[in-house]
Chain A
Amino acid sequence: MPVALSVDLPAGTVVPARLPAGSVALWRSASGRPAASADRCPHRGMRLSHGFVRGEALSCIYHGWSYGQAGHCLRIPAHPRLAPPETIRVTTHRVEESDGLIWIAVGNPLSQPPRLTGFAPLRSLTVLAGVAAIEAAAGAKASLEGLLELSEDARNICLLLSAQDDGETLAHVLIKGEAGPADRVAASRTAESLRRKAEGLQKKEITQ
């Protein structure tokens, strides 16, 4: 599942990302390697996406417990001379990064994430509407992989959609490779308009 743009996850940072199963802490180590773990420190349940990244480890903001990329606990600051037992770990997810997008494996996919031929990611938007409402707003159908091509005057833009469990949709806006800054700003505004329309349709449907 595509969860974030590569540029939105600089080295040495952690962000919250969403999967149908819930929130995950998506982070990139100082050396640039992305990783994903459950968004919950097993010590006291604090969200790890509120934590911090030092070197190759993700730390919880609450008590500073830190975890390596494979999910095992590396450090418990309250007991600095203790080597944390092997049993303390966070669940991790497989992460792939390609064409400027970060993907998290849901289940055990055999294949690599699809390539974005000719398109590059622009920005991510959360839409408070389902895929159907977005399709209706765009007047087009999304492919099995969630790719929605915009018709008419916005042929250089494409949305990569993933439905969330609460009826919201994460939309990554993709744009044809050679676009300049003005095209990119215009594409972002087009995507915002589409979101407004989709959310309007969704509201109507609910009130009917």
Chain B
Amino acid sequence: MTVKAMIDEWYPVGLLSQLDLKGRKTALMDEPIDVALDADGNARVTGGNGRTLPVRVRYGHVWASLGEPKKELFDIPEADQPGRRFVDVGVVRVRCSPLRAVENFLDIAHFPFVHTDILGAEPHTEVQNYKVEIREEEDEVWATQVKFYQPQAAKSASGGITTEYMYRVPAPTCSVLYKTCPPRPGEWDVITLFVQPLAEDLCDVWPWMALFDDESSMTDLIHFQQTIFLQDRSILENQIPRLLPLDPGMEIPTRADLTSVAYRRWLKRHNYTYGAQLVAQ
């Protein structure tokens, strides 16, 4: 286990809207932490030894780091775009590696089997070629021109369409996806997966969205995303091993998995191995 490289990163630790003075006890990479509002109404995160951790409040969530972040929390420009609805989906705990949770989010090939009749359906199982790169300047993994046939791409979709996706990994346990926005061609809906690593094999997942959808109720938007994520959860809790294998011999990628291949390579390069398994066991 290497905690070091990942210790200086930012992690989601709570929903701003749910904070109170009493605080919430949780954990970050095996260290117990406490997330609370202080008397001035600011979010405050305290580490295991009572030290105050660096904090940011952004995208509806409170973010903290156990170390000394060398970079500012990644930017999602769409978070400031007028006309979008911002959706706090709420926490879901998953008994799996935080890295497995992110990798699953980057994968479209499972849609017909896991999100049947919503994000995919047989016989539309084929994954066409798409582009993957590690953008050196931003130091992010990007996949673009990802296309997939979807029976019900979003709450706002009213029938099957071919959806286009872009995926972005700006931090080891966070991913942002952009997908075709049914009511507004030319714009992208933003759906994120913010993962709080509690332990190497346990995480709290905080999905968040910035959508163009003036029709659906907030509750409907929350429930749509919770439905999708809960379908994934039963997969994530049954992958063997729990940790993400970075040893290339352990699992077999195909062309459809190039995003995951790039993600694993990027993790390895940065020594982002908390939640990973390096050698086959």
Binding site for B on A (CB under 8 A): 39-40, 42-47, 50, 60-64, 76-80, 82, 88
Q: Which 8 A-B pairs have the closest CB atoms?
A: A77-B125, A78-B256, A78-B109, A78-B127, A45-B239, A47-B238, A45-B240, A40-B240
Given A76-B254, A77-B109, A79-B254: A46 in contact with B235 (beta carbons within 8 A): yes
Q: Is the CB of A77 within 8 A of B122?
A: yes
8 Å CB contact of A45 from B112, B234, B251: B251
Q: Is the CB of B240 within 8 A of A77?
A: no
Residues of B within 8 A of A82 (CB): 254
Q: Is the CB of B127 within 8 A of A79?
A: yes
Q: Output the nearest chain B residue to A79 by Cβ-Cβ distance.
A: B254
Bound complex: CA A80 to CA B254 (Å): 12
Q: Is the CB of B240 within 8 A of A47?
A: yes
Q: List 24 A-B contacts (CB under 8 A).
A: A43-B252, A43-B253, A44-B239, A45-B239, A45-B240, A45-B250, A46-B235, A46-B240, A47-B240, A50-B238, A61-B235, A62-B113, A62-B235, A63-B109, A63-B110, A63-B113, A64-B122, A77-B109, A78-B109, A78-B254, A79-B126, A79-B254, A80-B125, A88-B252
Main DSSP-derived SS at the B contact region: loop
Tally of B interface residues using CB under 8 Å: 24
Q: Is the CB of B239 within 8 A of A46?
A: yes
Bound complex: CA A78 to CA B124 (Å): 9
Q: Does B114 reach chain A (CB closer than 8 Å)? A: yes
Q: Is the CB of B252 within 8 A of A42?
A: yes
Beyond known contacts A42-B251, A64-B125, A78-B126: 7 more, CB 8 A cutoff: A43-B251, A45-B241, A63-B113, A77-B126, A78-B109, A79-B254, A80-B123
Residues 207-237 of B contacting A (Cβ, < 8 Å): 234-235
Min CB distance, B268 to chain A, in Å? 17
Residues of B within 8 A of A46 (CB): 235, 238-240
Q: Does B245 reach chain A (CB closer than 8 Å)? A: yes
Min CB distance, B62 to chain A, in Å? 32
Residues of A within 8 A of B240 (CB): 39-40, 45-47
B180-198 vs A, Cβ < 8 Å mask (1 yes, 0 no): 0000000000000000000
Q: Does B255 reach chain A (CB closer than 8 Å)? A: yes
Residues of A within 8 A of B238 (CB): 46-47, 50
Q: Output the nearest chain B residue to A39 by Cβ-Cβ distance.
A: B240
Residues of A within 8 A of B114 (CB): 61-62
Bound complex: CA A173 to CA B25 (Å): 48
Min CB distance, A16 to chain B, in Å? 10
Bound complex: CA A38 to CA B83 (Å): 51
Min CB distance, B106 to chain A, in Å? 12
Bound complex: CA A63 to CA B254 (Å): 12
Bound complex: CA A112 to CA B63 (Å): 61
Residues of B within 8 A of A47 (CB): 238-240
Min CB distance, A8 to chain B, in Å? 20
Q: Is the CB of A61 within 8 A of B126?
A: no
